[in-house]
Chains A and B, each alone.
Chain A
Amino acid sequence: MIVELKGILTPYTEQAESLENLSEETDFIKDLQINSANLVDVVLDVEEKFGIEIDNDSMAKMLTVKAAIEIVETKLAESGR
């Protein structure tokens, strides 16, 4: 899943090194310096890519790669996939 996330994050960051070394610990704002108005795009792209809907409570936590993976896995499991 981290490969798919990397693809989604690429257009929104200029931090090539952090992107190259993307790990579960990577922070979207602190490490990738994604503009906060573009975090919405990340959430929408993740929704489209995985065919899920991310509610506001989940979105509130989606600040790291680890959190994003957990949210996607939970939503996929809830929908029986």
Chain B
Amino acid sequence: MVGNDLVDLQLARSQSNWRRPGYLRKICSEEEQHMIIMAPEPTAMLWLLWSMKESAYKVLNRNTGKREYNPSGLVCSELKVNQSEATGNVSYGDNVIFVKTEISDQRIYSVAAQTVIVFEGLTSYHMHNTSGYMDKFSRARPGYILQKNISGLPVVVELHTGRNLAASVSHHGRYLAVTYSGSLLSTD
């Protein structure tokens, strides 16, 4: 499956006080805590790691159907970070998820998949966070319809083939993003 996660940094500033005692320890490994504290911009590094973990969790959750809240068990590694982009792996037990993240001063956005082929075939579409986003997506992308399947999970229907493409939607604050696979089909 595919996953994405978006953090509106403006909302995150008012919504979360990550410097609260005990906070980092609950969501990060010791190595990740060290990376955050030593980073030139600790807040951006925290939300970068967080969104990598969240997008990877969505992939795992959709593969297994299992719900868990275990952010420190999702471990980021092989991290390569520059000003505008990051790539890395997120491991959970024996699973390894590939993650790519876009970084700006307004938002952090990650996409995740479990195989390189799926990962490289992901398309993301960015929008304002509004309740009519499914219709807006479908109008903006002729030939594709965003809808929810019977389990309530997002699916992008490719009209000319009738395929149900695996998709993920994330929204936070001002922003909403849809990502979908060019090859992987939704299984439910």
Majority SS at the chain A contact face = helix
Judged by a CB distance under 8 angstroms, whether A76 is at the interface is no
Judged by a CB distance under 8 angstroms, whether A74 is at the interface is no
Contact in complex: A44, B70 (CB < 8 Å): no
Given contacts A37-B12, A40-B23, contact A63 B70 (CB under 8 A): no
Judged by a CB distance under 8 angstroms, whether A32 is at the interface is no
**B contact residues, range:** 20 to 34
Contact in complex: B26, A40 (CB < 8 Å): yes
Contact in complex: B70, A56 (CB < 8 Å): yes
Judged by a CB distance under 8 angstroms, whether B32 is at the interface is no
Judged by a CB distance under 8 angstroms, whether B20 is at the interface is yes
Given contacts A35-B172, A37-B15, A44-B20, contact A61 B68 (CB under 8 A): yes
Contact in complex: A59, B69 (CB < 8 Å): yes
Judged by a CB distance under 8 angstroms, whether B16 is at the interface is yes
**Once the chains are docked, how many angstroms separate the CA of A79 from the CA of B17?**
29
**A contact residues, range:** 10 to 19
Given contacts A40-B27, A56-B70, A62-B69, contact A47 B15 (CB under 8 A): no
B73–chain A nearest beta-carbon distance, Å: 7
Most buried by A among B12, B17, B54, B68: B68
Residue among B16, B54, B68, B72 making CB contact with A38, cutoff 8 Å: B16
Contact in complex: B20, A39 (CB < 8 Å): no
Q: Kindly report which residue of chain B lies nearest to residue A40, judged by CB atoms.
A: B26
B62–chain A nearest beta-carbon distance, Å: 15
**Once the chains are docked, how many angstroms separate the CA of A60 from the CA of B74?**
11
**A38 proximity list for chain B (CB < 8 A):** 15-16
Chain A residues near B (Cβ < 8 Å): 35-41, 43-44, 47, 56, 59-63
Q: Taking A36-B69, A38-B15, A60-B69 as given, write out 4 further A-B residue pairs in contact, using a Cβ cutoff of 8 Å, ordered by the A residue number.
A: A35-B15, A36-B54, A41-B16, A44-B23
